[in-house]
Amino acid sequence: MPIELYDGDLPDGLDFGDTVAIDTETMGLNPVRDRLCLVQLSAGDGNCHMVQLRQGRYEAPNLKRLLTDPDVTKLFHFARFDIAAIQAYLGVVCQPVYCTKIASRLVRTFTDRHGLKDLCKDLLNVDLSKQQQSSDWGAAELTPEQLKYAASDVLHLHEMRAKLNAMLEREGRTELARECFRFLPTRAALDLAGWEDQDIFAH
């Protein structure tokens, strides 16, 4: 798989079309504490572009422009986490967005397996390796194994979205999914503000 790694920002003139698959790697699972280290992007063409972000250096104007472009859908798996990390460290709100995990939860109600590895296997017959999931993403130099793992998290999202969209349409839940996606930046803001473990809609 072709991988392009950039230091600090995307290059000028890079075009991902109307939908860009995005994932992030951080130092841990708490976006308030654990800094954003890597942003992976793909246009769904088998190529992966990555921006390595050094500690305290989050200017990245080209990346931020893409993340906030209203004409480009940002495609995530478990968008809630990635959007929160992006809000916390890049200071921008991603819109519009699509989350394959939410789409899966809305239509694959016959299972509780909604992880990326599960969806790749069930929908695309692709086996993903998660061996590098817990590794030091803040290292000055990332290993080829880390880069290959990080790329695999975005390369299949376009195809997965097509499968899930067909299921959403079949089950009459397309508009419900859209409304959930629209709420995701607010859900991420609640996480960052301290309401990550509370359901504010509960009685």
pLDDT tens-digit map of 28-41: 999 999 999 999 99
pLDDT band at residue 131 using 50, 70 and 90 as cut-offs: low
User: Would the pLDDT of 1 be above 80?
Assistant: no
Confidence band (pLDDT; 50, 70, 90) for 143?
very high
Q: Is the pLDDT of residue 59 over 70?
A: yes
Phi-psi bin for 177: left (phi > 0), alpha (psi -120 to 50), beta?
A: alpha
- Residue from 64, 48, 47 nearest 8 by CA: 64
pLDDT given for residue 58 in this prediction? 97
pLDDT of residue 134: 76
Q: Is the pLDDT of residue 133 over 90?
A: no
pLDDT tens per residue, range 2-29: 999 999 999 999 999 999 999 999 999 9
Domain boundaries, the chain: 3-192
CA distance readout (Å), 40 to 4, 13, 121, 125, 183: 10, 17, 21, 22, 23
- Give me the pLDDT at residue 155, please: 96
CATH architecture, domain defined by 3-192 = 2-Layer Sandwich (3.30)
Residues in the chain: 203
What is the per-residue pLDDT for 129? Answer: 77
Provide, rounded to the nearest whole percent, the portion of the chain with pLDDT above 90.
Answer: 96
pTM of the shown model: 0.95
Q: Per-residue pLDDT for 82 more than 90?
A: yes
